[in-house]
C-alpha cells in the first residue's frame, strides 16, 4: 500500500502544522488548463490533492463544483482521461498524494476491477466516494484496500456515536469531516462545533481528521487547521477558475497563476498551527 498519505500527515505533525488538501475537478475548464493547475499545485505547499471525477449528478456538491463538473464534461473529460491525467502527474511528482473524489456510478460503469488496477497504475493513493455507504464495503472499499488504495470516509455532523463505528470500521488514510449539513461551498461551520466534532470522532479512531466544506479563506483554513488535523478547500479554488475564464469560456494561464497564488496563501496560513 502506498505510504504517501501517511507520510504527508507525519511531515505536517513533525512540523507542528495542519495539513492542507485542495480539491479541483479534473478537466475543469479543459484538460490542458486543468493539468497545468494540477502540476502548479505541486509547488504551492499543498499536502494532498483531491482530484474530482467529473459526474453529471454530483448530489453533495453546490453550484460551484456542479458547474466545474459540467465544464469538464462539456470539454470531453472522462474517468479514463482523469486517470491518465493522474498518471502524468505522478510521473513528475513522486510525493504528493492524489485522492480521487466523486461518485460511484462512473466507476461502476468503468468496471470496479479495471478501475482499481488503472488507479493503482496511475499512482493514485486513495478514494473518497460520496455515495457508497459502509454497508456496501464489499462492493469497492474492501477491494480498493486490497489493491493498495486508502478508502477515506466522510463523517458529517449528523453521524452520531452509534453510527460512527460502522462508518469508520474500514476507513484508512484519514477521516474527512464534513463540517456543515448540506452541500459544498455554501455556509461555514462555527469553530465550537468543529472542536466538539473533532473530539467526538477522535474517540472512535486513531486516524487523522481533516475538515472540509465551507472553507473559503486563508483565515478560515488556519482556524480549521487548529481545530482538527487539517483543512480541505474546494469551492473557493473552483470559484477562481470560474471567475477567470476567457471570453469564450476556455482556460488560460492566468487561471493557473491565480489558483497557485491562492493555494500558497492557504498553505502559509495552515503552517501557523
Contact 72, 27 (CB under 8 A): yes
The verdict on whether omega for the bond into residue 29 sits within 30 degrees of 0, i.e. cis, is yes
For cell 476567457, what's the residue?
Answer: 246
Closest CA to 75 of 199, 253, 249, 255: 249
Among the listed residues 28, 35, 61, 223, the single catalytic one is 61
Give yes or no: 135 in active site. Answer: no
Give yes or no: 161 in active site. Answer: no
Among the listed residues 6, 28, 47, 50, the single catalytic one is 50
Which letter, b or e, does each residue of 102-117 get, where b requires 16 or more Cβ atoms within 10 Å of its Cβ? bbbebbeebeeeebbe
Catalytic residues: 50, 61
Amino acid at each position: 500500500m502506498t505510504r504517501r498519505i501517511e507520510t504527508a500527515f507525519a511531515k505536517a505533525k513533525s512540523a507542528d502544522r495542519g495539513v492542507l488538501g485542495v480539491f479541483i475537478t479534473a478537466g475543469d475548464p479543459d484538460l490542458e488548463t486543468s493539468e497545468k493547475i494540477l502540476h502548479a499545485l505541486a509547488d504551492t505547499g499543498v499536502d494532498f490533492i483531491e482530484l474530482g471525477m467529473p459526474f453529471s449528478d454530483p448530489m453533495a456538491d453546490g453550484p460551484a463544483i456542479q458547474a466545474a463538473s459540467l465544464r469538464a464534461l462539456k470539454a470531453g473529460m472522462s474517468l479514463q482521461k482523469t486517470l491518465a491525467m493522474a498518471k502524468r502527474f505522478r510521473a513528475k511528482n513522486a510525493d504528493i498524494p492524489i485522492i480521487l473524489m466523486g461518485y460511484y456510478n462512473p466507476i461502476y460503469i468503468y468496471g470496479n476491477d479495471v478501475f482499481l488496477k488503472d488507479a493503482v497504475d496511475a499512482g493514485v493513493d486513495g478514494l473518497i466516494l460520496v455515495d457508497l455507504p459502509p454497508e456496501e464495503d464489499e462492493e469497492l472499499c474492501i477491494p480498493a484496500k486490497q489493491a493498495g488504495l486508502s478508502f477515506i470516509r466522510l463523517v458529517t455532523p449528523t453521524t452520531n456515536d452509534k453510527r460512527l463505528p460502522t462508518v469508520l470500521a474500514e476507513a484508512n488514510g484519514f477521516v474527512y469531516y464534513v463540517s456543515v449539513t448540506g452541500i459544498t461551498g455554501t455556509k461555514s461551520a462555527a469553530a465550537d462545533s468543529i472542536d466538539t466534532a473533532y473530539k467526538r470522532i477522535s474517540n472512535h479512531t486513531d486516524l487523522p481528521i481533516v475538515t472540509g466544506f465551507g472553507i473559503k479563506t486563508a483565515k478560515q483554513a488556519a482556524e480549521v487547521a487548529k481545530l482538527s488535523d487539517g483543512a480541505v478547500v474546494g469551492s473557493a479554488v473552483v470559484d477562481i477558475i470560474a471567475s477567470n475564464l476567457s471570453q469564450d469560456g476556455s482556460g488560460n494561464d492566468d487561471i493557473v497563476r491565480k489558483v497557485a497564488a491562492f493555494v500558497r496563501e492557504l498553505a502559509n496560513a495552515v503552517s501557523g498551527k
